[in-house]
Chain A
Amino acid sequence: MKDSKMATAEKKERQSRGNVNINKDRCKGCGFCVEFCPTHALRFSEDFNALGYHYPVRLEEAACTGCDQCGAFCPDFAIFGYRYKSHT
């Protein structure tokens, strides 16, 4: 019980380092971001965007560190990560 609490606290701490911004209607569903996110913080949506593709959504329970790896990969400029000020 105590362990899982710690794990949650640690996750929260990592999560609070940054976040990811997703412009879903610009996405073409290539999957680079979902596949290569170092913390596996993304998954594909079930519904379609305006272009007819599944787009990435942030998994609430996973830790996005704001590393911007997804942003560096995205061929369609549809996603990017950013760090919170207190952690830079």
Chain B
Amino acid sequence: MTESVVTDHTKQETISADQNRVELCEKNPAEDFLRMDRIPHIWCPGCGIGTSVNAFVRALIEAKVDRSKLCVVSGIGCSGRVSGYLNVDAFHTTHGRAIPFATGLKLANPELTVVVYSGDGDLSAIGGNHLVHAARRNIDIKVVCVNNFIYSMTGGQAAPTTPMGTIASTAPYGFCEYALNLPHFVEACGATYIARWTTFHVRQLQKSMQESFAKKGFTFIEVIAPCPTLYGRRNQYRQGVDEMKMFKEVSRREKDIETRDAEIKPGEKIVIGKFVDRERETWLESMQHHYKEVLGDAYYPYTGAMI
């Protein structure tokens, strides 16, 4: 080895006042929440999924989420592998079914914080119907949707989120369909909290995740992420960092922006920010309300199947 890396393992006294951070000097803050025996992970160099996990873990730490009451559910895809790398109760379900699985978890044990962490294809294509109805019912789950514009795991086929005109393995001459505007879609369905960030906006992403943990109801955070291997390389972004630079350049955060303006078109701005933050009764609350009203004292309120 010709070079030495500057590390500073010894300066234990040099850390911030926060007790949580004392170890951080020697250990990456993310490590506590990761299954380190599985690291390095399978994601390609420059893949944005890892960056989003970084923000997620930091949000868990900052928001002091009780790990014993946390469940992360993923579907199938590169993004779906997130659950396997987290050192929390995690479930890797079948393709598109993360939301119904999470719905069951949440309703059986309403004390849990249930996070669905999956890809755009998994959540909006094969799992699209579940997304509609979980948002409509306002099931209290926190959805993180990694949008890399493509079905990555299976070879870069066009997805509902592939921007019109871009190249995919199933669209070598450019994709001819309108892309699904995810924030607009879930707003129409009834989500209570909706934000979109790119992996360049890690701090804002982390903050949104923290907000969503504190929010009651169906929350949806879209994370635009680079997939250099199957999207970037076909679309002029040879490396992940090239796509990150593009995010930095074209992302716009405007005041009072509406989700209907958030459609993604290549070469145009990417609208980012928090779009929706509203209150609605969750499904469980509205069920309890309703039966209390209809049945009066005969109704024994359901508070979970766990004893």
Contact = CB atoms under 8 A, between A and B. Distances in A.
A58 B3 CA distance: 11
Given A32-B241, A46-B3, A88-B16, A21 B54 contact: no
24 contacts: A21-B7, A28-B44, A31-B241, A32-B46, A35-B244, A57-B5, A60-B6, A69-B202, A71-B54, A72-B51, A72-B55, A73-B54, A74-B54, A75-B49, A75-B50, A75-B51, A77-B30, A82-B24, A83-B14, A83-B15, A83-B16, A85-B13, A85-B14, A85-B17
Contacts of B3: 45-47, 57
B2 A47 contact: yes
Contacts of A21: 7-9, 25-26, 28
B46 A20 contact: no
Interface of B: 1-3, 5-9, 11, 13-17, 21, 24-26, 28-31, 34, 39-41, 43-51, 53-55, 58, 199-200, 202-203, 206, 239-241, 244-245
A88 B21 CA distance: 12
Interface of A: 19-24, 26, 28-32, 35-36, 45-47, 51, 53, 55, 57-58, 60, 69, 71-80, 82-86, 88
Given A19-B6, A72-B203, A85-B13, A30 B46 contact: yes
Contacts of A57: 3, 5-6
A78 B31 CA distance: 10
Contact of A80 (B24, B45, B245): B24
Contacts of B7: 21-22
Contacts of A51: 40
Contacts of A53: 45
Contact of B40 (A22, A28, A47, A55): A28
Nearest to B50: A75
B229 to A, nearest CB: 12
B277 to A, nearest CB: 23
Contacts of B240: 30-32, 75
Given A23-B28, A35-B245, A84-B11, A74 B51 contact: yes
Contact of A31 (B8, B30, B46, B47): B46
Nearest to B21: A82
